[in-house]
Amino acid sequence: MPITRISDVIVPELFEPYVIQRTMELSAMFSSGIVATNDTFNALASEAARTHNMPFFEDLTGDSEPTLEDVKMTAAKIGSNKDVSTTILRQKMWGASNLSAALAGKDPMMAIGDLAAGFWARDHQKELVAVLKGIFGSYDTSTGGTIGVYTITISTKGAIGDKITVDEVEYTIADDTSAASRTIAVGSTNSTQASALKTLLEEQYSGVFTVTVTSNVITLTQVVAGDGAQPTISVVQTTDGTLVAAAATTTAGVGNSVSPLANHILDISTEANASDQLICADAFIDGCQKLGDAQSTLTGVMMHSATKSYLKKRNLIETERDSTDVEFETYQGRRVIVDDGCPVSNGVYSTYLFGNGAFAYGNGSPEGHVAVEIDRDKQTGGGIDYLINRKAYILHPRGVAYTGAVREKVETPLRSELENARNWNKVYEDKQIRMVEIRHKIG
């Protein structure tokens, strides 16, 4: 019986459009309306540039003026700004063994296409969660806040062999410091030992603390407010050891935290009463209120499976059917998407509310982009066929500009970089951004 190979059934010109369409059909992001395809973004994703400026005029503000005789009108300024998106490049390769069952089917190309589409639907949702972590995340700026100041005091000079550990880095007092690294010259006084330790700490805390010494006291001053804490130190003396040292806080550092969508976050996880920290109907209504009179634009909700189970036990999740008789779940009339990629930290869950078209999607084909390739490794066993599928697309939160402040590669942002709040900046008015995060606990 002839062997069916990937190259026999995959026609790239037919395969890629099918995978794109099928991905949208399988993805809850698209079916819920949270992500909307857009011809403009399709074109942008096909550009050679990896970031794309999208200028827009800001809303007109202020009040009208009364029409009065002999009174000139005052001209108001029409402001402008720009949204910025970035192209995401991703790729995946599958071997024939991964696709063997599909190859044996009646319509192998469609079967393989369904497998690929399912993979990309899940992968796109991971990218969307990464962006959500970024735009709702926070970071400390170099301005504002309170600069922290901490000290390490060598109150009693140490003997040879005594050890001091500073934030898990161990230093040893020695007679000959050239014999090993991380050694402190025994010196004649506690001040000379403090001076020697100060030199070592400058390397350990480079970029975090400015390290100075006065007599037997080492002072560590934060470079960025809130970045770095009081050092944890421990001392181990030899049998005849004498070293005594301690750390203390002069000024506690407090960072100036910035979040791109700070006005779109409802955090009930810190409420005084434990019962008020739990997700509930009232909290959901308060979250919607973040958009004021624009809250009716919120049509979908993405939550962790544990959050959904918690709400379902309380009969708060309903099941509905669409016009094609397909069932879907809703919470307070908004379609539910379940994704365990939603952040969970120390028992605090993130649940997201969305409006239709909160994210724009564009699928592109830049110059040199090969979406589908068939390859074969002839040197392994009897040979292995490979299917390679590449994506060039934009998945952009409308109204939050991508800054690229932290980006390692020119070609594409990494998923970890999409999660970085420094890479995002709000440019739309709050009510025009159809997204809200609720931070909460579950019982």
Phi-psi region at 303: left, alpha or beta (left = phi > 0; alpha = psi -120 to 50): beta
CA dihedral 398, 401, 266, 344 (to 10 degrees): 100
Q: Tell me the C-alpha distance between 435 and 358, whole Å.
A: 7
Phi-psi region at 229: left, alpha or beta (left = phi > 0; alpha = psi -120 to 50): beta
pLDDT for 3: 46
- Beta strands 265-267; 435-440: pairing state: parallel
pLDDT for 86: 95
pLDDT for 1: 36
pLDDT for 105: 53
Q: Tell me the C-alpha distance between 283 and 231, whole Å.
A: 39
**Nearest by Cα to 152 from 246, 250, 252, 251:** 246
Largest CA distance in the chain: 98
Q: Tell me the C-alpha distance between 104 and 112, whole Å.
A: 10
pLDDT for 2: 45
Lookup: tokens for 65: 């003026």
pLDDT for 104: 54
CB-CB contact of 81 with 56 (8 Å):
yes
Listing DSSP states for 415-439 in one string gives HHHHT-GGGEEE-S-GGGS-EEEEE
Q: Tell me the C-alpha distance between 311 and 288, whole Å.
A: 17
Helix segments in 239-395, DSSP class H: 281-288, 305-313
pLDDT in tens, the chain (443 residues): 344 455 555 566 777 787 878 787 777 788 888 899 888 999 999 998 889 988 877 777 778 888 888 888 787 777 777 889 999 999 998 876 555 555 555 556 677 778 888 899 999 999 999 999 999 999 877 677 899 999 999 999 999 999 999 999 999 999 887 767 889 988 889 999 999 999 999 999 999 999 999 999 999 999 988 889 999 999 999 999 999 999 999 999 988 888 999 999 999 999 999 999 999 999 999 999 999 999 999 999 999 999 999 999 999 999 887 666 667 899 998 999 999 989 999 999 999 999 999 999 999 999 888 988 888 776 665 667 788 899 999 999 999 999 999 999 999 999 999 999 999 999 999 999 999 999 999 98
Q: Tell me the C-alpha distance between 377 and 128, whole Å.
A: 34
Q: Tell me the C-alpha distance between 16 and 20, whole Å.
A: 6
CB-CB contact of 412 with 45 (8 Å):
no
CA 24 to chain centre: 23
